[in-house]
Amino acid sequence: MSFASLGLIDPLVRTLDALGYQAPTPVQAQAIPAVLAGRDVMAAAQTGTGKTAGFALPILQQLTMAGQVAPNSVRALILVPTRELAEQVHQSFLAYGAGLPLRTHVAYGGVSINPQMMKLRKGLDLLVATPGRLLDLYSQNAVKFDQLQTLVLDEADRMLDLGFSRELNAVFAALPARRQTLLFSATFSDQIRALAATLLNDPLSIEVSPRNTTVKAIAQWIVPVDKKRKPELFMHLLKQRRWGQVLVFVKTRKGVDALVDTLEAHGISADAIHGDKPQPARLRALERFKAGHAKILVATDVAARGLDIDDLPLVVNFDLPIVAEDYIHRTGRTGRAGASGEAVSLVCADEVVQLAAIEVLTGQMLERIDQPGFEPDHRVPLTNTRGEQVRKPKKPKKPKGDAAVSSIDVRFRPR
Ligand code: AMP
């Protein structure tokens, strides 16, 4: 199947050719004709499936066919959860729309609102925005929606997880009822389904990978370890396994900074991305990592979604995520566009409930591989994909000669 056969115009087909895209991915093959035909779409597709081009290409084509845009108006609005994703999605529109006479911009918080207001003055064909900043712009009359034709909710589940539902409802209330709406989400909770039911009109449902599963090509395993030994274990694995570039997820901002300090104390170049960092610093860190100048990028879940880093071979969960769905998003940073990848989690006894939730959600057991010398004193209890048999961690026994050796074999081999 070719891009031209999906109904895309020549300039877009030529750009895709120049980008080296040979054929549409499954989500593109389904979404592009439907969006061109004006249908609403609800797609279960995670990052790495080519979903961005799935909505960007037909929207660019529709915008090219449309007439003049009025001052402060926008024709297509793409809502995304994070600043990083906003930049990335906008960059995709710029790349796919190269040579098309369209005015586009991106708006998110944490940076001055004035340049965004200036850009909006003449009107925009397309605006990529985070919900909070969009509402700020709207409340200051910097943006109008009377000409809005298309709304995209990208990573809708993440927007709800991040607590944007109030902002989203305020935005929806301001939009014209007659419009095309496309909803993309990696996972479909009841809340997302309810949102889809109110927003979408007879949508085409697209599901490109089984719901709530991680990408199959990713080799996933965990190392049981005591909490306090995680930094040491990470350094050990880094050396022993000769890890190249690694994206590491840590639960808290403080934890991120502590790990970066440890790495730098060992002479390893590392950068951090978390919510306390100003936006320019976050973008710089991402660029340094993408360019290969920093070997390690340590991040909180802010960075988990949407980051498109080519050929990232490895994601490490230094801490397991609190929300099981985030495991899927984190591991989605590797094994993209069909490449194989690896996701390693350092798991301590306190995290057994999160581990069980991940295994239930993905329907897949994570292989436990002990690291000699790092076997935990506080054992990680056994789990299964039905969420049963999760036993509370045993209190460590006081050492009493040979009796200190536990008689329970907690090593686990997957199916
Ligand atoms: P996405 O899922 O939208 O984040 O895209 C994942 C990656 O796949 C991006 O780096 C895209 O540039 C790339 N990509 C998207 N569509 C195609 C395609 N049809 N052929 C090759 N690469 C693609």
Q: pLDDT, tens digit, for every residue of 152-209?
A: 999 998 888 778 889 999 999 999 999 999 999 988 888 888 999 999 999 999 987 6
Q: Give yes or no: residues 391 and 357 share one domain.
A: yes
Domain boundary among 178, 207, 236: 207
Q: Give yes or no: residues 244 and 189 share one domain.
A: no
Q: Give yes or no: residues 261 and 146 share one domain.
A: no
277 lines ligand 1 (CB under 6 A): no
Q: Has this prediction a pTM greater than 0.75?
A: no
Nearest CA to ligand 1 atom 22: 21
Q: How far, in Å, from the CA of 338 to the mean position of ligand 1?
A: 10
Domain boundary among 181, 207, 233: 207
Q: How far, in Å, from the CA of 257 to the mean position of ligand 1?
A: 32
Q: Give yes or no: residues 227 and 338 share one domain.
A: yes
51 lines ligand 1 (CB under 6 A): yes
The pLDDT of residue 136 is: 96
Find the angle CA(169)-CA(171)-CA(177) to the nearest 5 degrees.
95
Nearest CA to ligand 1 atom 14: 50
Q: Give yes or no: residues 286 and 383 share one domain.
A: yes
HSE-CB for 278 with a 13 A CA cutoff: 4
Q: How far, in Å, from the CA of 28 to the mean position of ligand 1?
A: 10
| Token pair recorded at residue 300 | 């909180």
HSE-CB for 251 with a 13 A CA cutoff: 13
CA dist 57 → 73, 106, 227 (Å): 21, 17, 46
Kindly state whether residue 415 falls inside one of the protein's structural domains: no
Evaluated on CA atoms 193, 195, 198, 204, the torsion sign reads negative
Q: Give yes or no: residues 152 and 193 share one domain.
A: yes
Which region, left, alpha or beta, applies to residue 202 given φ > 0 means left and ψ of -120 to 50 means alpha? left
Q: How far, in Å, from the CA of 52 to the mean position of ligand 1?
A: 7
The confidence band for 261, taking pLDDT boundaries of 50, 70 and 90, is very high
Determine the Cα–Cα distance for residues 305 and 302; give it in Å rounded to an integer.
Answer: 7
Which of 163, 104, 173 lies closest to 135, judged by CA?
173
376 lines ligand 1 (CB under 6 A): no
The pLDDT of residue 310 is: 58
Kindly state whether residue 342 falls inside one of the protein's structural domains: yes
53 lines ligand 1 (CB under 6 A): yes
Kindly state whether residue 75 falls inside one of the protein's structural domains: yes
| Token pair recorded at residue 23 | 């054929």
The average pLDDT across 291-300 equals 89
The confidence band for 308, taking pLDDT boundaries of 50, 70 and 90, is low
Q: Give yes or no: residues 249 and 398 share one domain.
A: yes
Label the pairing between strands 150-153 and 180-185.
parallel
Q: Give yes or no: residues 185 and 241 share one domain.
A: no
- Residue 14 predicted with pLDDT over 90: yes
Nearest CA to ligand 1 atom 1: 50
- Residue 413 predicted with pLDDT over 50: no
The pLDDT of residue 49 is: 84
Domain boundary among 185, 207, 229: 207
Residue 151: count of CB within 10 angstroms of its CB = 21
| Token pair recorded at residue 405 | 């050796």
336 lines ligand 1 (CB under 6 A): yes
- Residue 389 predicted with pLDDT over 60: no
104 lines ligand 1 (CB under 6 A): no
Label the pairing between strands 124-129 and 104-107.
parallel
Q: Give yes or no: residues 254 and 360 share one domain.
A: yes
- Residue 188, domain CATH: 3.40.50.300
Kindly state whether residue 53 falls inside one of the protein's structural domains: yes
Helix 131-139, helix 165-174: angle, nearest 10: 50
Kindly state whether residue 73 falls inside one of the protein's structural domains: yes
152 lines ligand 1 (CB under 6 A): no
Q: What 3 state SS string does the chain have?
A: CCCHHHCCCHHHHHHHHHHCCCCCCHHHHHHHHHHHCCCCEEEECCCCCCHHHHHHHHHHHHHHHCCCCCCCEEEEEEECCCHHHHHHHHHHHHHHCCCCCCCEEEECCCCCCHHHHHHHHCCEEEEEECHHHHHHHHHCCCCECCCCCEEEECCHHHHHHCCCHHHHHHHHHHCCCCCEEEEEECCCCHHHHHHHHHHCCCCEEEECCCCCCCCCCEEEEEEECCHHHHHHHHHHHHHHCCCCCEEEECCCHHHHHHHHHHHHHCCCCEEEECCCCCHHHHHHHHHHHHCCCCCEEEECHHHCCCCCCCCCCEEEECCCCCCHHHHHHHHCCCCHHHCCEEEEEEECHHHHHHHHHHHHHHCCCCEECCCCCCCCCCCCCCCCCCCCCCCCCCCCCCCECECCCCCCCCCCCCC
Q: How far, in Å, from the CA of 46 to the mean position of ligand 1?
A: 11
The average pLDDT across 347-366 equals 90
Domain coverage including residue 375: 218-409
73 lines ligand 1 (CB under 6 A): no
Pocket test for ligand 1, best of 52, 87, 310 (most atoms within 8 A of CB): 52
49 lines ligand 1 (CB under 6 A): yes
25 lines ligand 1 (CB under 6 A): yes
Q: Which atom of ligand 1 is nearest to the CA of 21?
A: 20
Determine the Cα–Cα distance for residues 363 and 169; give it in Å rounded to an integer.
Answer: 33
Nearest CA to ligand 1 atom 19: 24
Kindly state whether residue 414 falls inside one of the protein's structural domains: no
Nearest CA to ligand 1 atom 21: 21
Q: Which atom of ligand 1 is nearest to the CA of 310?
A: 10
- Residue 295 predicted with pLDDT over 50: yes
Q: Which of 175-184, 332-341, 355-364 has the highest mean pLDDT?
A: 175-184
Q: Give yes or no: residues 266 and 175 share one domain.
A: no
- Residue 254 predicted with pLDDT over 80: yes
Q: How far, in Å, from the CA of 307 to the mean position of ligand 1?
A: 12
108 lines ligand 1 (CB under 6 A): no
Residues in the chain: 415
The average pLDDT across 328-337 equals 74
First and final CA of the chain: distance in angstroms? 37
Q: How far, in Å, from the CA of 283 to the mean position of ligand 1?
A: 21
Q: Which atom of ligand 1 is nearest to the CA of 306?
A: 4
Q: Give yes or no: residues 272 and 165 share one domain.
A: no
Kindly state whether residue 213 falls inside one of the protein's structural domains: no
330 lines ligand 1 (CB under 6 A): no
43 lines ligand 1 (CB under 6 A): no
Domain count of the chain? 2
Q: Give yes or no: residues 66 and 146 share one domain.
A: yes
Are 225 and 374 spatial neighbours (Cβ–Cβ below 8 Å)? yes
185 lines ligand 1 (CB under 6 A): no
Kindly state whether residue 80 falls inside one of the protein's structural domains: yes
If you search the block for the tokens 């995680």, which residue do you land on?
230
The pLDDT of residue 127 is: 98
